[in-house]
């Protein structure tokens, strides 16, 4: 479900708030005596609040707006909702893995710090910081006015509930009339409970109109390579039980969803995930790419937005959900039994299955007792040994074709004026000898799922993040052996060594395999052009590797370097010690002497070629 545009936020809520609150002020004008008593009571309440709740840490930001200014700006109703905490203050609380800061204004998350991680610049990882996220609940009142909670001030109250910390943020009309955001933080947990509920406001709400909750977030850059990080920063979601999809990686995209189980704002190695207690019946999501120029120092990668309606129950609001703020690591995500690990881009179809069932657990096991770089090398060796029989079959097919080449060339020369007859005779010879070019291609095709799965695995392997190896400081990012004073398009402003080594290995491997392939192919018209193209590929592919992987994870380049070295070694062993061309020739002669039955495919091909030859002959007779 790839998508289209970006949702825009409403800009008229503030004016509507003022109108409805002025109306409430006119309706409830107090006498001078009541005003004096009210002010005295509120001052006493403010003094009492400042003395209680010693575990709440209020961080001063700005207190320039006086109560009178607030009252004149948004009216009596909002005024009654704000006091006694109508100030830009913050409430902080934390567990072993998260440090959170909640803003009184709007009652939403102002800061989320992951305590166990730092970014590429050794600064703590913040998923939210300095207003990069916003919570907003929009609802209609009984006189058809609209309020946005992001403009209003909440009153905080922090308490302990057993081992859990519970932070209540309330918009109060009175002690028993309020709108509440409730945060629940359990020990050593990346999941933050969040609930929206109201009490005593059934006469205030216009229940004919649904309330809408909106969560907006700008993803902060965390990785060294902005190009690499932005490629794996993406909004994904689960719907209709167990189906997963995602928005476009680049540009602007949006989607209307139904039956949504979770929505993940992935920031490569870290994620902010909304998990409702029960699937959302409807939701609107959007994503916008904020990286305009990948060559400059960029602070943000994507902007995400989610909006969904909340229904009234008995005239009151009630919605329970959770937010996961933590690593994009399947080992952690699996603990929640919500299928959150499906937000990790392991690859589609069989590729994802191979990664989840084979490579991810295999690498986790190897890295549990080996260094992370050595674990990559060992896993590469294991994969190459497993696929060595495929390489053997491929090389054996090439050897057979090389032995048959003189006979195939003779057939080509004999029927050079009749291509169809030449192809028929060559096919018959190959069939008798048990050799076919197709038999060399099929083993190569079997390797594609493995190669592509590993290509998808290394960039998202959380285990590699900030793990050093040899001269590499971080296997999940590019290695740098030299900084350039300028930026080369498509290459970057640095030189990475592992892509250079991998390109050299690919060059020699392609040179060996291309030479073997060309030596086994019979001479045909147009072959000189084909040979030129193959020679160009020998140089083009390593060059492409050099440019493409200069900004990619060094762990992936290490894999390709080792993989091609091993392939060269296996090829030399097979050629020099395993395949004996004289024995292969003897087997071919025995096979040629035996009557060979054609399979269905071969029979069908022979019939097609025979019919084509008859049609050609008929056309030539008509011309005469």
In a domain, 490, yes or no: yes
In a domain, 613, yes or no: no
Same domain, 338 and 356: no
410 to 160, 337, 339, 586: CA distances (angstroms):
90, 66, 62, 20
403 to 398, 399, 544: CA distances (angstroms):
9, 6, 34
In a domain, 602, yes or no: no
Residue-range definition of the domain harbouring residue 359: 352-593
479 to 230, 471, 497: CA distances (angstroms):
18, 8, 7
212: pLDDT strictly greater than 70: yes
| CATH code for position 268 | 2.70.98.90
78: pLDDT strictly greater than 50: no
pTM, full prediction = 0.73
Residue 125 near residue 80 (C-beta atoms within 8 A): no
- Among 328, 345, 362, the domain boundary falls at 345
**Torsions phi, psi for 185 (to 5 deg):** -115, 120
Closest to 395 (Cα-Cα) out of 559, 487, 516: 516
In a domain, 599, yes or no: no
5-9, 215-219, 471-475 — which one is most confidently predicted on average? 215-219
How confident is the prediction for the chain on average, in pLDDT?
77
H helix count then E strand count, the chain: 16, 22
pLDDT confidence tier of residue 348, bands split at 50, 70 and 90: confident
Determine the Cα–Cα distance for residues 572 and 575; give it in Å rounded to an integer.
5
Same domain, 86 and 227: yes
Comparing 93 with 609, the larger pLDDT belongs to: 93
Same domain, 294 and 438: no
Query: Could you tell me which residues come within 8 angstroms of residue 206 by beta carbon, excluding any fewer than 6 positions away?
Result: 139, 140, 141, 142, 143, 144
556 to 194, 452, 459, 562: CA distances (angstroms):
39, 12, 7, 10
pLDDT confidence tier of residue 41, bands split at 50, 70 and 90: very low
Determine the Cα–Cα distance for residues 51 and 53; give it in Å rounded to an integer.
7
Same domain, 86 and 189: yes
Same domain, 358 and 309: no
In a domain, 256, yes or no: yes
Same domain, 267 and 310: yes
pLDDT value, residue 438: 59
Split into its structural domains, the chain has a count of: 2
In a domain, 545, yes or no: yes
Q: What is the torsional sign of CA 370, 374, 376, 378?
A: negative
């Amino acid at each position: 479900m790839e998508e289209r545009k970006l949702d825009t936020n409403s800009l008229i809520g503030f004016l509507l708030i003022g109108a409805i609150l002025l109306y409430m002020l006119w309706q409830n004008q107090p006498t001078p005596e009541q005003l004096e008593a009210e002010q005295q009571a509120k001052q006493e309440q403010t003094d009492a609040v400042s003395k209680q709740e010693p575990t709440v840490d209020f961080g001063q930001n700005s207190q320039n707006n006086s109560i009178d200014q607030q009252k004149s700006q948004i009216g009596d109703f909002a005024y009654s909702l704000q006091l006694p905490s109508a100030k830009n203050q913050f409430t902080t609380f934390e567990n072993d893995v998260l440090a959170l800061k909640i803003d009184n204004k709007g009652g939403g998350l102002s800061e989320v710090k992951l305590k166990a991680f730092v970014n590429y610049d050794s600064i703590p990882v913040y998923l939210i910081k300095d207003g990069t996220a916003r919570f907003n609940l929009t609802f209609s009142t009984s006189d058809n006015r609209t309020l946005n909670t992001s403009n209003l001030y909440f009153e905080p109250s922090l308490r302990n509930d057993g081992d859990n910390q519970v932070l209540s943020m309330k918009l109060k009309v009175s002690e028993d009339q309020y709108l509440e955001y409730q945060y629940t933080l359990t020990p050593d947990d990346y999941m933050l409970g969040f609930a929206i509920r109201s009490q005593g406001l059934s006469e205030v709400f216009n229940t004919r109109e649904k309330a809408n909750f909106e969560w907006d977030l700008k993803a902060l850059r965390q990785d060294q390579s902005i190009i690499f990080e932005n490629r794996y920063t993406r909004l994904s979601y689960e719907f209709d039980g167990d189906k997963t999809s995602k928005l476009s990686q680049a540009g602007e995209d949006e989607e209307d969803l139904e039956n949504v189980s979770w929505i993940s704002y992935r920031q490569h190695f870290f994620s902010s995930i909304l998990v409702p207690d029960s699937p959302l019946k409807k939701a609107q999501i959007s994503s916008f790419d904020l990286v305009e120029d990948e060559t400059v120092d960029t602070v943000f990668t994507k902007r995400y937005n989610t909006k969904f309606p909340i229904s009234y129950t008995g005239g009151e609001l009630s919605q329970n959900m959770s937010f996961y703020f933590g690593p994009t690591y399947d080992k952690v995500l699996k603990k929640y039994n919500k299928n959150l690990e499906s937000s990790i881009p392991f690859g589609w179809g069989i590729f994802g299955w191979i990664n989840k069932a084979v490579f991810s657990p295999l690498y986790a096991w190897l890295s549990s007792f080996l260094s992370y770089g050595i674990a990559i090398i060992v896993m590469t060796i294991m994969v190459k040994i497993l696929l060595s029989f495929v390489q053997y079959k491929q090389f054996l097919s090439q050897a057979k074709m090389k032995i048959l080449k003189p006979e195939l060339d003779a057939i080509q020369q004999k029927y050079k004026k009749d291509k169809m007859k030449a192809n028929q005779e060559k096919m018959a010879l190959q069939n008798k000898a048990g050799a076919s070019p197709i038999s060399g291609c099929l083993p190569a095709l079997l390797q594609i799922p493995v190669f592509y799965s590993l290509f998808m695995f290394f960039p998202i392997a959380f285990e590699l993040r900030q793990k050093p190896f040899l001269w590499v400081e971080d296997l999940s990012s590019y290695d740098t052996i030299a900084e350039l004073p300028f930026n080369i398009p498509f290459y970057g402003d640095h030189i990475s060594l592992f892509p250079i080594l991998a390109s050299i290995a690919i060059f020699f491997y392609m040179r060996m395999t291309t030479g073997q392939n060309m030596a086994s192919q019979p001479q045909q018209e147009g072959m000189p052009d084909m040979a030129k193209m193959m020679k160009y590929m020998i140089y083009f592919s390593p060059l492409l590797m050099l440019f493409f992987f200069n900004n990619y994870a060094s762990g992936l380049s290490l894999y390709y370097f080792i993989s091609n070295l091993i392939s060269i070694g296996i090829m030399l062993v097979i050629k020099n010690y395993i395949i004996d061309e004289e024995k292969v020739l003897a087997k071919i002669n025995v096979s040629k002497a035996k009557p060979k039955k054609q399979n269905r495919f071969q029979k069908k091909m022979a019939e097609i070629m025979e019919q084509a030859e008859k049609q050609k002959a008929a056309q030539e007779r008509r011309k005469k």
